């Protein structure tokens, strides 16, 4: 009898407020496919009582097998230092070359393109840090654009970028969920990707 493989651990990183119903959808479909889903909203990230929320989320990101990041036009409230927890999770996924998939609301790229010449430096984030954006219904913090630039790997030369596909969506329940279902439904294919990328880590 073939040995049963442990479930793949997938970290789902996203801001939560106003997105709870969508996260329920994401967690439900990934669980149905056979993944072990790590999601702070669902309370499925191991919470060491001697560590901070940031530390627990960083550890979960480092320990996951694969990573799903959802960028929304809202930066979130868990800001420690100058970055949110979600922002730091996404940076770890990129820095550690985790098998990773990203989705981003189309308004983020729209604002990035509109403000690029004035305020946004492609490689270093925001050029004009004195520029303040009032919270609004479209975008609440320009650090969302920093996060978007990082997962696009704009800090690296084009020829050195891998894993920088970011899927745009407007209606997450339709476009976002279609992307997630297509990418993750074949868990054996995903397991092969995870093993292949692990084998390349030196």
Please tell me the predicted confidence (pLDDT) of residue 9. Answer: 98
Which secondary-structure segment (H or E) carries 60?
helix 53-63
**Cβ-based neighbours of 181, under 8 Å, separated by 6 or more:** 29
- The per-residue DSSP string of 89-129 comes to HHHHHHHTT--EEEEEEHHHHHHHHHHHHHHEETTTEES-T
Report CA 38 to chain centroid distance, whole Å.
12
Q: How many of the other CB atoms lie within 10 Å of CB of 176?
A: 21
Task: Return the pLDDT at 113.
Answer: 83
Tell me the pLDDT of the chain (202 aa) as tens digits.
567 889 999 999 999 999 999 999 999 999 999 999 999 999 999 999 999 999 999 999 999 999 999 999 998 877 877 899 999 999 999 999 999 999 999 999 988 887 776 655 544 455 555 556 666 567 778 889 889 999 999 888 889 899 999 999 999 999 999 999 999 999 999 999 999 999 876 5
Domains and CATH numbers, the chain: 9-193 (3.40.50)
- Please name the helix (run of DSSP H) or strand (run of DSSP E) that holds residue 88, with its range, or none: helix 85-95
């Amino acid at each position: 009898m073939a040995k049963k493989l442990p479930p793949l651990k997938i970290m789902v990183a996203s801001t939560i407020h106003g997105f709870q119903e969508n996260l329920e959808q994401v967690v439900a479909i990934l669980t149905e496919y056979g993944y072990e889903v790590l999601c702070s909203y669902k309370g499925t990230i191991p919470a060491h009582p001697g560590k901070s929320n940031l530390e627990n989320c960083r550890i979960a990101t480092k320990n996951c097998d694969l990573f799903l990041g959802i960028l929304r036009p809202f930066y979130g409230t868990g800001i420690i230092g100058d970055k949110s927890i979600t922002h730091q999770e996404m940076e770890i996924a990129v820095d550690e070359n985790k098998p990773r998939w990203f989705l981003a609301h189309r308004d983020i790229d729209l604002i990035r393109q509109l403000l690029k010449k004035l305020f946004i430096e492609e490689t270093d984030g925001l050029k004009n840090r004195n520029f303040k954006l009032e919270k609004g219904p479209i975008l609440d913090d320009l650090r969302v654009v920093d996060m978007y630039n990082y997962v696009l790997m704009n800090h690296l030369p084009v020829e050195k970028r891998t894993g920088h596909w970011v899927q745009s969506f407007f209606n997450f329940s339709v476009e976002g969920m279609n992307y997630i279902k297509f990418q993750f439904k074949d868990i054996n294919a995903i397991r092969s990707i995870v093993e292949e990328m692990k084998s390349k880590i030196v």
